[in-house]
Chains A and B, each alone.
Chain A
């Protein structure tokens, strides 16, 4: 249904994502909707998310690539720029989106966000406060959540 008249750009991006995946990232389209992707991102080394496997969903709206893809964490994660519904605060998903960006670049940016949380531009106030007040403790909580919710079982 939604797969008819799929723009060549989406087909090509999908092919490249499957044939040449970025390290630590996998993205595969759903069988019944080629605009819906199941995504897995490995927690980056040297980050509190190391060892975790994080599931995300990614959807390419009708206007894509003129409009940004919609991305959301499905795995619970303790991160100042990600809220409890899994929504992500990332500029390129909003006003800084450019049609020259791709699914791959978006996912790499999200991976980078896991390595470098930004509590000064928070989506989740409580976590950001925690992060700024006592970073060591917040990092511990993030590790704990990674063990609890993202251990890949």
Chain B
């Protein structure tokens, strides 16, 4: 049996490689490249949007899954002339990959039958001697009709079969690959036998496992990771974007199944999430803000007062915070109670330097992390708030507004769109903080460019959020239809579209590793950089930064006070003087 399993594994790995290699190479490198070159220098916001929204996945309900599974089983059963139960076993063995089943079967049917346990004829003749046969499990004798066997012909009594099947089902999804109890026999036990011999409870569990297997063992489907969501997603392997939006309204990344995180890559997200949850930050804090009691080694935080520390019971050791020496050695002689000469001397001699420095560094790095984390978390909660506001809007406010302003519901779509945009932007903005945290400290030009883009994005979003929240309020509270409601519509719709464009460009620029800076960055390097404390830099963002001809933000890297730019009145975007319409929002100068 061992060798069979090995074969199975080997097959899987090999064919998996074959299956993916061609496509992923295309997707990760050339696709992106093409995409950007085509877009380059053309007025293409429409194209981009449509490209982005082109769906490369299908959301499946449980019903859809059943239908597909049934179809696959029927297909295999028809093509290979085998029973549906056998087809199901076969598909399960090949992780529900129809073409793999075809390939394997037509190359070596006999081998596949042997590996999977689909026997064509019994390996033993059932002994119908006059004596009643004995069950090989309970050693009792039974009349023939109370014995049962898989295709191999190894008979066991029904009670033992039931126990055998039940044990296996309660052990987990491995029951889908159940074999005859005879240790020398590999004959598969299929759903027909399960349904004949198992209890109703176990039958249900079995079919549940079978359904789950179709999603979980299949390389191109996954469950939506949102809690309580029962949809699965069928993904076109090799697609450029991993973002999936489930029918339950949860957006997640297909690749890592964390929530959607463009423009940050999965690796950074994993690092960031680990960092957020990691004990290491607590450790950093303790390291930076506490010293261990010299006697009992418990960490002590000094939050006020003099240098005379008394450890909490049972230790009660009295010591000097500065030199960590016993307090009994201190007094007037050592420079008074508020300064410790021993410490000053030792510091000058360099004895304390190393630990102090480490403490200092830990503190800096902690402050730096806190800076990014706070902003990350604020946008996270702001997004959650916006989402609930949106729901409230859809449930109550829109109807109210429709009454007050005498507008049909269809004319108020722009409000929902604005809110959806806010929710999406908060998500992107949130992840830019993880991006910023991992952007290497020494890449001043990139950092500066990044912080500029982020700042602009933030203020643009604030404008939109303000308009959708505060200004809308006026029209909700109005007594009758307001004259300027149409103006408000134009403004909010305009802001929505400007913000959408800005964020799409932001995402693209960040996904490109801010490659623009490579060519234009030199001049901004002289200006002072907004350093955010010390701490370690991280790995440089590499990869796709080669394409420098693409310029989502023409000119910005050259500095904004240049005289060859004009600032758009609508969206504040800095355009080249040669342009007559805004590159960002397409309004005239």
A residues apposed to B, CB below 8 Å: 7-9, 12-13, 63, 65-67, 91-92, 96, 98-101, 105
Contact = CB atoms under 8 A, between A and B. Distances in A.
Contact of B139 (A9, A66, A101, A105): A9
A99 B1 contact: no
A101 B137 CA distance: 8
Nearest to A7: B138
Contacts of B183: 92, 96, 98, 100-101, 105
Contacts of B164: 66, 99
A42 to B, nearest CB: 24
Most buried by B among A9, A12, A96, A105: A9
20 contacts: A9-B137, A9-B138, A12-B139, A13-B139, A63-B167, A66-B164, A66-B166, A66-B167, A91-B2, A98-B182, A99-B137, A99-B160, A99-B164, A99-B181, A100-B136, A100-B137, A100-B154, A100-B181, A100-B182, A101-B183
Contacts of A63: 167
A67 B166 CA distance: 12
B1 A96 contact: yes
Most buried by B among A8, A65, A91, A100: A100
Interface in B125-170: 136-140, 154, 156, 160, 163-164, 166-167
Interface in B1-54: 1-2
A92 B1 CA distance: 11
Interface in B527-551: none
A7 B159 CA distance: 13
Chain B interface size range: 10 to 19
A96 B167 CA distance: 13
A65 B140 CA distance: 13
Contacts, number: 39
Interface of B: 1-2, 136-140, 154, 156, 160, 163-164, 166-167, 181-183
A64 B167 CA distance: 11
Contacts of B140: 8-9
Contacts of A66: 163-164, 166-167
B134 to A, nearest CB: 10
Nearest to B166: A66
A92 B181 CA distance: 12
Contacts of A100: 136-137, 154, 156, 181-183
Shortest Cβ-Cβ A-B pairs, 9 listed: A66-B167, A100-B181, A99-B137, A12-B139, A9-B139, A98-B183, A9-B138, A98-B181, A100-B136
A12 B160 CA distance: 16
A92 B156 CA distance: 20
A8 B138 contact: yes
Contacts of B139: 8-9, 12-13
A98 B189 CA distance: 14
A101 B181 CA distance: 9
Contacts of A96: 1, 183
A67 B183 CA distance: 14
Nearest to A101: B183
A67 B138 contact: no
Nearest to B165: A66
Nearest to A63: B167
A63 B171 CA distance: 13
A10 to B, nearest CB: 9
Given A66-B164, A66-B166, A98-B182, 9 more contacts: A9-B137, A9-B139, A12-B139, A65-B137, A66-B167, A67-B167, A99-B164, A100-B182, A101-B183
A97 B138 CA distance: 15
Contacts of A98: 181-183
A13 B140 CA distance: 12
Nearest to B2: A91
Nearest to B168: A66
Contacts of A105: 183
Contacts of B181: 98-100
A101 B183 CA distance: 7
Most buried by A among B136, B140, B163: B136
Contacts of A67: 167
A118 B154 CA distance: 31
Nearest to A65: B137
Contacts of A91: 2
B187 to A, nearest CB: 12
B185 to A, nearest CB: 9
Nearest to B185: A100
Nearest to A99: B137
B554 to A, nearest CB: 62
A113 B1 CA distance: 17
A13 B154 CA distance: 20
A88 B352 CA distance: 54
Contacts of A92: 183
Contacts of A7: 138
Most buried by B among A13, A98, A101: A98
A63 B183 CA distance: 18
Most buried by B among A63, A98, A99: A99
A138 to B, nearest CB: 24
B37 to A, nearest CB: 53
Contacts of A101: 183
Nearest to B156: A100
Contacts of B163: 66, 99
B547 to A, nearest CB: 49
A63 to B, nearest CB: 7
A91 B5 CA distance: 13
B132 to A, nearest CB: 14
A100 B161 CA distance: 11
Contacts of A65: 137-138
